[in-house]
Amino acid sequence: MQRRDTGISRSRFLKMMGAAGVAGSTLSVLSCQPNTSATGGGGSGGGPEEKELAFYNWSDYVAKSTIPGFEEETGIKVTQDFFASNEDLLGKLQAGATGYDVIVPSDYMVAIMIKSDVIQKIDKSKIPNTKNVGSNYMGLSYDPNNEYSLPYQWGTTGILYNKKEVGELDGTWDAMWDPQFEGEMAMLADSRETIGAALYKLGYSVNSKDQDQLAEAEAELKKQQPLLRGYFASTEVRPLVLNGDILLGHVYSGDAFLALSENENLDYVIPQPQATRWTDNMCIPNGASHPDNAHKFINYILGADVGAKLSNYTYYNTPNEAALPKIAGALKDLPGYILSPDVFQRLEVIKDLGATTRDYERIFTEVKSA
């Protein structure tokens, strides 16, 4: 996601932290913890690991039952900390933060982290539930052999809109450039997703490195910018549309589905000709203090029941085929949750573009200040 992109934002998160009685789910300053062996255990020279695990995740991205269930099953106490963006996560690891055992970067960031040597290979022999992962979510470009990552949740990026006020959209990205909705639209504060929307509108790939195509996309975004309420996190766009403050919002699918479940006047469209699908992944940092516990936790998340409860809470899609029959029917019935093969095939995965990433950041900075 690119997922999941803000600090603590959903009202349910407070309920999760309080009413769930999650042991060890308080915020922690894990970067102050001493580094221990990435292959040994608990700082004891390779002896048995302490019954602890540090989970560094997006906020409100774990079911109420997930952590208590793992603690009860294994006796391992989990401490959670939260990051606001993939870039914040990477920056903290590159700055030398240690002590985190499992992290949840998005697809393109996995590739960057592999190149940056901040995550370690996982031992899939210790994760038998890997068998539950669907083939569509394994072997992707950012980690072709899944040596460093296994999928956590996935989703799409599209348009959440008020169909009662707007009517049915034509299914393209053009609606987000329509002058009749001036001041009633918002785009994601995400350079790859928002520039990607302009590239899609023009018929190009979200992973374009062509400077002429990027210049065209920049021009499109500068036309759009005066029409927008602004650029926001997906979790900020959702309540704006839900409460009627704006009519159309560029969002991640989980936020769209949450909104649809609360307001029957809303709809979600995955625009043509193309749109983004993303996957958030579980990885083990090089500085993990409890790598064996990390493998146990990843295996636990990939269990059928646990995976279903996770998606039933987050409203995002599960990569876990064994969990699919257990996904709530009301969630499956929401438009855009279950994708037909033709829709799935026109979705693109955002890739690491190397040095061209700087061009995307420059363009987005200039567009926002135009």
| Strand (E) or helix (H) holding 186 | strand 185-188
- Over pLDDT 70: what percentage of the chain? 87
Q: Is the distance from CB of 324 to CB of 318 less than 8 angstroms?
A: yes
Q: Cα separation of 354 and 162, whole Å?
A: 38
Residues 231-259 have pLDDT tens digits of 999 989 999 999 999 999 999 999 999 99
pLDDT of residue 84: 82
Q: Cα separation of 290 and 329, whole Å?
A: 37
According to DSSP, the β-strands at 150-162 and 52-58 are unpaired
Domains, the chain, in order of start with CATH, read: 11-154+279-332 (3.40.190.10), 155-277+339-368 (3.40.190.10)
What SS3 class is residue 88?
Answer: helix
Q: Cα separation of 165 and 232, whole Å?
A: 22
Residues 352-366 have pLDDT tens digits of 999 999 999 999 999
Q: Cα separation of 259 and 266, whole Å?
A: 7
Residues 284-332 have pLDDT tens digits of 999 899 999 999 999 999 999 999 999 999 999 999 999 999 999 999 9
What SS3 class is residue 56?
Answer: strand
pLDDT averaged over every residue in the chain: 88
Task: Name the burial class of residue 11, with classes exposed (0-12), middle (13-18) and buried (19+) by CB atoms within 10 angstroms of its CB.
Answer: exposed
Q: Cα separation of 287 and 99, whole Å?
A: 6
pTM exceeding the 0.75 threshold for the entire prediction: yes
